[in-house]
Amino acid sequence: MTTWMVRVWYNAYDDEDFIDEMPSTEYHFQTKEEALAFKKAFNEKFWNHGGWEPRLRGGVIVGHQYVASSPAEGPYEYIIPTFSVEETLNAAYVGAEIWGMEEEE
């Protein structure tokens, strides 16, 4: 399954040292067109605020850059892998074992 994500920054300011403390929310859409329409409408309404976008170097995120007048960033394509119940249970059982969970007998 694929979704398109747009991240909205709330009250973001241009100090990357505090980016982890700035509130943001991810919104997922079925199509890229829907995501772009949302981003455009949000940025038009809150044009007097800014947000953050990843700074890429060679396809690797090496930080973030502040973007004035754009509190919504994206869209980014998310490919969500799907698994069978059996595959998911096996993975969950491994996680339970790692965390020391024991079955009730």
Q: What confidence tens digit (pLDDT) does each residue in 17-69 have?
A: 999 999 999 999 999 999 999 999 999 999 999 999 999 999 898 999 999 99
The pLDDT of residue 105 is above 80: no
Q: Does some domain include residue 103?
A: no
Rounded distance between C-alpha atoms, residue 10 and residue 85, angstroms: 38
Residue found under tokens 């949000």:
42
Q: Does some domain include residue 65?
A: yes
The more confident residue out of 33 and 105 is 33
Residue 68: the pLDDT is: 95
Closest CA to 37 of 75, 7, 1, 69: 75
Length of the chain, in residues: 105
pTM for the predicted model, two decimal places: 0.76
The pLDDT of residue 103 is above 90: no
Q: Does some domain include residue 105?
A: no
Number of structural domains found in the chain = 1
Q: What are phi and psi of 72, to 5 degrees?
A: -105, 130
Containing structural domain, residue 28 = 2-98
